[in-house]
Structure 1
Amino acid sequence: MSETIEPTPEQSAIIRYDPTKPLRVAAGAGTGKTSTIALRLEWLIGQGAVEPETTLGITFTVKAAEELQHRLMTQLLELAEDGRVPLVTTYHGFAFSIVQEFGGYLGLDQQTRVITPGFGRQLLLETLSEGRYEHLDLSHVRGRIEELVGLGSELSNHLYRPQDLSNPADALNDIELRRSELAEVLARYDLKKRALSAVDFGDMIAVAHHIVATIPRVRTELRRRFQLVLLDEYQDTNAAQRKLLTSLFSEGHPVTAVGDTGQTIYEWRGATARNFDAFPTDFPDPDGNPSATLQLTTNYRSGTSVLDLANQIRKRTGEQQVRDLVAAPSNPDAEVATAWFHSAVDEANWIAQEITRVHEEEGIERSGGGAMRWSDIAVLFRKNAHIDLVRQALEAEGIPVEVASIGALVHVPEVAQLHAWLQLLERGDLDGAVLRILLGPRFRLGIGDIAKLVGWNEGSTTTQVLEAIEAAANNAASGPDLDVEIARRVSQFWDEYRTLLIVAQGLTLGDLCRRILDTTSAWIEIESMHDAARLSARLNVYRFLDLAEAWSPLEGRPSLAAFLDYLDSLLDETAADEMEAAHVGSEDAVALLTVHRAKG
């Protein structure tokens, strides 16, 4: 069926394990779990124990699902050519397929759409603004939105509804009163989603579980359809996902779950290592005894130095599910270094210098030899907010960079200027966008110049700069006492603003972004940069243009106002970190992204 791969003894035990029983595989990082799953399925098909089209593979992210699908297609090439392939999907994708196929039992529309976290926050903002409240402080609306997101996530992760919370009459203190009002907002939010035939990620699991738990024929059909189930990254599942899966496959069904409690990094969104710990009793053997556990401990990614440190850390964190990892004989060793700095600036500069050294150093043991490519290097961060300082240091060092997440992308100077123009055209001067443009690299006005403008225009304030510029443009003969060059720049800004304000009315979002870039000569400025900075600017502007082209609202046609609201939700400091999937292109540039996005 495929090229011969010689499995290790640990892999062989997993591959040939009894196909009629559940199995837990405790697989450390880099131990070839995806290859082992694919080899197990190939062996089971070869033994006649299962047909490929009756196999279900579930993993946590789209990227991981694509990787598993590709590996299975490679291992089962002859069957794949005949269209006989397993179904591989994500946990949310599997739940959504249940909602789409069987939602009619609950009166759900088969055309139900999935909304992203960004759209969900927009809809929550609309819902919150429509109510009257006694106990919620709306002076900081974004804070309330994050409380709604957090409460809604906790409810859906444990299969509760907003109506299950105590009502105001039962509240014992101010905290419970505020929570009751938040629950009322979430209840109205649920009604809005239903009216739009839309569900968010939490809804998918909850609705799918409700269907499976209340309609026996659905359970029977899915168990008949999927005679073998492979669960990847099981340690990243939450309580609701566990209940969905146990409702379907807990009675001795042949389920193979692969995971590692030491890699549980999604607790902030409900993941719990307890699911992996409890697998033997949640998915017992057909005779009712706890299912077996086998291990993968040979690491194919890292050398001895890295693994020795990893093993020590695992022991200190109390994680003992997997035995110590050992390096495969062919793994090259590597250096593990730590450094302590007086400031974040010092740290960023050191990272830039170290990347330059690694890139230029000859004799690095790698395929092809020679200097390491920029695209072979990534810098991982805990939060998007930490990216910008390192980005600046890398660009100052002449290193091309690609910011891989939208939450951090909007802080890149070229994108930030484009975003400011969009805000100005739609919202006027409310967001201070005009100050960011005038003080930016194109017009280079100073605070003193701004002060002269608003001081000359009697009655204006620093929040009405646009009004002062308009007054100056209409009174050129008696305008403010500005330097000739500054006056020329102000006039140029006003001309560009008026031009863009007119053409914006008939352009799509993508075309409007491109027109702004052309009108403001942004491409000319980008082309004048040195090689690394030019590549970085291009990559990041194109990433933003891709977003504008692809974006579509829940209702009606795409509009600039709705798009800006969406970007606002991404910019929220507490929400932006992991809202959008990372996107790493094929250009030769260092990728900057968060740890969570690197894994996902």
Structure 2
Amino acid sequence: MSSAPPPGQASAGLNPAQLEAVYHLSGPCLVIAGAGSGKTRVITTKIAQLLVSGYRPSQIAAITFTNKAAQEMRERAKALVGNKAAKDLAISTFHSLGVRLLREEGTRVGLKEQFSILDSDDVLNVLKDAGSTTDVKQAQRWQWTISLWKNNGIGPLQAAQIAADDDERAAAAVMVRYQERLAAYQAVDFDDLITLPLKLLTTNAEAREKWQNKLRYVLVDEYQDTNAVQYELLKALVGERGMFTAVGDDDQSIYGWRGATIENLKRLPLDYPNLKVIPLEQNYRSTGSILRAANNVIAGNPKIFEKKLWSEYGDGEPVVLLEADGEEHEAERAVARIQQLRGDGLGPQFRDFAILYRANHQARVFEQALRRAQIPYKVSGGQSFFDKAEIKDLCAWLRLLVNQDDDPAFLRAVTTPKRGIGHQTLGALGTFSAQWKCSMFEALFSESLATAITKRALDGLHEFGRAVNELQYKARHTEGHTAAHAMLSEWLKDIGYEAHLLDNEENEKVAQARRKAGSSSWFTSSRSQAHRSLISALSKKL
């Protein structure tokens, strides 16, 4: 029995265009949603309407582009349809959906059930190995090029054929060796989470029919940000029925640099002649003066679908344009404007202001100007503590202690610091573990492994395995924060990790400071609070 709200209750307060989008269930639908036009409410209300119409929650997939957006959508759906129904909805990112398909069907495309998913740093390490280089920037260029090719459905052989210059030809050659290593490691990168499910659904009729019956209605948010392979994956999922709603806006397409293309919006009416196009033009976020300015800014953009945003909020305050002689003058004028609007403190509070900039490097001058004016501020975004390479390294080791079936953690830990275990050894180990259906860590202790790799390589793996087991024993017999802190500090020295960091530190001044410290104190002092919470949280799991 559906837990969806009664018909009409969920859609109360929607405008006519929103209602039209919610109630169009008979075929493919494209909602052209301008900024602030209530698109998320349309999606969640349409989910409720689908449940009322007889769809089961598990048959409905809602796809968006960030985990944060997916979580927000789930919470808003929960408020409409209840906890149980919301829990069974397939609300996720494209990549999370790809993981789900591969976990269930990966053996059909050559993966073992517990395949590894490499993060960006892991990918760079494999690329450096595949390209026989220690140059991080070169590896990053290869990573960028290969990712763009994958997002456009271009594999290694085609990449070699279309390579336009020496750099691209080198990247294509590296791509071949890179993919060979991923296959041997039983690992995939972020882009493979789309390309492999697409390969699965287009080459395996049984899997395609199964998933088309599992997910009988698909909603896609931020459709203008899809790339070529995501478009094809959607087509493969919805099949000839074409039961989907795509929500997007050609004026908000800003991710062309990573493969997204508004050509996908152009293709929809061609691939689905019965496509219903519904523009959402009423804005619920801004005043008329802001919308007029925005409409004028984008007036020259190439248009696929016409729309013009409007608001019931009236004109509001006029938009003020501040002209500046340079970035420092710009920051000074912005700060002066904040002080002027705040007046004697009875006006808006500091927390009511936001400074938006296009790239992180532009934050510096604004921070300096705010500091000079003694205005408190908080910078959102930037690199997370847990995204730092050394923290990922430490977490890989600790994850392996908690779960020795964690192959991604194994691959990072066994190669950091370097210990003479190369791609051939790891490739052979990955193949062996896939054949015996076990984790790579478990496989390294198998007597049969001696027939697959050299004695020297086997000795190196055994040494690593003993180090992990010894650390695990110590962790299980260590209690309290102080003892855990001391154990980890000693361990960092024992495995040569401090030397590894010093040797790989690009900033020579930082490296010299760390050498002078002569201990793991740099690790704990510069990151003390987060480091303590990390050790505390993970030591409890151990």
C-alpha deviation, 1:260, in angstroms: 0.3
Q: Provide the residue aligned with 2:369 in structure 1.
A: 393
Residue deviations 1:122-178 (CA, integer Å, cap 9, x gap) = 332333235xxxxxxx9xx344224312320221012121232337xx99xxx6444
1:333 aligned to which of 306, 311, 316? 316
Q: Provide the residue aligned with 1:346 in structure 2.
A: 329
4+ long deviations beyond 6 Å: 422-425, 544-551
2:231 aligned to which of 193, 218, 242? 242
Structure 1 residue identity aligned to 2:303: E
The question of whether the paired residues in 1 share the 8 Å contact of 2:498 and 2:520 is answered with no
Q: Provide the residue aligned with 1:473 in structure 2.
A: none
Provide structure 2 residue ranges, at least 5 long, that are not aligned to the other structure: 387-491
Look up the SS of the partner of 1:502 in the other structure: coil
TM-score (normalised: structure 1):
0.63
Say if 1:317 and 1:361 are closer, same or farther in 2 by CA, change over 3 A.
Answer: farther
2:18 aligned to which of 11, 17, 41? 11
Q: Provide the residue aligned with 1:382 in structure 2.
A: 358
The question of whether the paired residues in 2 share the 8 Å contact of 1:302 and 1:332 is answered with no
Residue deviations 1:282-336 (CA, integer Å, cap 9, x gap) = 2x2xxxx331101111101000001011112222113352411011x24772442
Q: Provide the residue aligned with 2:300 in structure 1.
A: 316
* Residues 1:207 and 2:196 are matched in the alignment: yes
* Residues 1:60 and 2:65 are matched in the alignment: yes
Say what the alpha-carbon RMSD is for the aligned residues: 3.4
Distance in 1, Cα, partners of 2:385 & 2:95: 27
The question of whether the paired residues in 1 share the 8 Å contact of 2:57 and 2:86 is answered with no
The question of whether the paired residues in 1 share the 8 Å contact of 2:78 and 2:86 is answered with no
Distance in 2, Cα, partners of 1:354 & 1:325: 28
Distance in 2, Cα, partners of 1:395 & 1:425: 37
Q: Provide the residue aligned with 1:181 in structure 2.
A: 170
The question of whether the paired residues in 2 share the 8 Å contact of 1:20 and 1:253 is answered with no
Distance in 2, Cα, partners of 1:52 & 1:427: 49
Structure 1 residue identity aligned to 2:172: A
Any residues of structure 2 matched to 1:64-463 within 5 Å, and which?
64-77=69-82, 80-81=83-84, 85-129=88-132, 141-166=135-160, 176-282=165-271, 284=272, 289-319=273-303, 321-327=305-311, 329-330=312-313, 333-359=316-342, 371-374=348-351, 376-407=352-383, 428=502, 435=509
Distance in 2, Cα, partners of 1:547 & 1:351: 38
Residue-pair matches, total:
422
1:514 aligned to which of 502, 506, 524? 524
Any residues of structure 2 matched to 1:504-583 within 5 Å, and which?
513-516=523-526
Residue deviations 1:571-600 (CA, integer Å, cap 9, x gap) = xxxxxxxxxxxxxxxxxxxxxxxxxxxxxx
Say if 1:191 and 1:34 are closer, same or farther in 2 by CA, change over 3 A.
Answer: same
Say if 1:323 and 1:546 are closer, same or farther in 2 by CA, change over 3 A.
Answer: farther
C-alpha deviation, 1:250, in angstroms: 4.0
Structure 1 residue identity aligned to 2:33: A
Structure 2 residue identity aligned to 1:67: E
Say if 1:344 and 1:88 are closer, same or farther in 2 by CA, change over 3 A.
Answer: same
C-alpha deviation, 1:252, in angstroms: 2.7
Distance in 2, Cα, partners of 1:88 & 1:208: 17
Distance in 2, Cα, partners of 1:122 & 1:331: 55
Say if 1:200 and 1:82 are closer, same or farther in 2 by CA, change over 3 A.
Answer: closer
Q: Provide the residue aligned with 1:460 in structure 2.
A: none
Distance in 2, Cα, partners of 1:373 & 1:546: 30
The question of whether the paired residues in 2 share the 8 Å contact of 1:92 and 1:205 is answered with yes
Structure 1 residue identity aligned to 2:89: P
Distance in 2, Cα, partners of 1:547 & 1:313: 46
The question of whether the paired residues in 2 share the 8 Å contact of 1:21 and 1:253 is answered with yes
Q: Provide the residue aligned with 1:459 in structure 2.
A: none
The question of whether the paired residues in 2 share the 8 Å contact of 1:300 and 1:331 is answered with no
Distance in 1, Cα, partners of 2:108 & 2:256: 33
Q: Percent identical across equivalent pairs?
A: 26
Residue deviations 1:522-569 (CA, integer Å, cap 9, x gap) = xxxxxxxxxxxxxxxxxxx85x98899999xxxxxxxxxxxxxxxxxx
Q: Provide the residue aligned with 1:489 in structure 2.
A: none
The question of whether the paired residues in 2 share the 8 Å contact of 1:24 and 1:280 is answered with no
Distance in 2, Cα, partners of 1:191 & 1:294: 46
Say if 1:191 and 1:549 are closer, same or farther in 2 by CA, change over 3 A.
Answer: farther
Look up the SS of the partner of 1:151 in the other structure: helix
Distance in 2, Cα, partners of 1:382 & 1:547: 32
1:25 aligned to which of 18, 26, 31? 31
Residue deviations 1:489-533 (CA, integer Å, cap 9, x gap) = xxxx8xx965x42346xxxxxxx5333567xxxxxxxxxxxxxxx
Distance in 1, Cα, partners of 2:359 & 2:505: 24
Structure 2 residue identity aligned to 1:513: F
Look up the SS of the partner of 1:340 in the other structure: coil
Say if 1:84 and 1:397 are closer, same or farther in 2 by CA, change over 3 A.
Answer: closer
C-alpha deviation, 1:14, in angstroms: 1.2
Say if 1:331 and 1:226 are closer, same or farther in 2 by CA, change over 3 A.
Answer: farther
Distance in 2, Cα, partners of 1:36 & 1:303: 21
C-alpha deviation, 1:205, in angstroms: 1.1
Look up the SS of the partner of 2:113 in the other structure: coil
Say if 1:279 and 1:104 are closer, same or farther in 2 by CA, change over 3 A.
Answer: same
Any residues of structure 2 matched to 1:468-479 within 5 Å, and which?
none
Look up the SS of the partner of 1:403 in the other structure: coil
Say if 1:389 and 1:209 are closer, same or farther in 2 by CA, change over 3 A.
Answer: same
The question of whether the paired residues in 1 share the 8 Å contact of 2:228 and 2:259 is answered with yes
Look up the SS of the partner of 1:241 in the other structure: helix
The question of whether the paired residues in 1 share the 8 Å contact of 2:10 and 2:48 is answered with no
Distance in 2, Cα, partners of 1:244 & 1:237: 10
Distance in 2, Cα, partners of 1:305 & 1:128: 54
Look up the SS of the partner of 2:355 in the other structure: strand
C-alpha deviation, 1:118, in angstroms: 3.6
Look up the SS of the partner of 1:299 in the other structure: coil
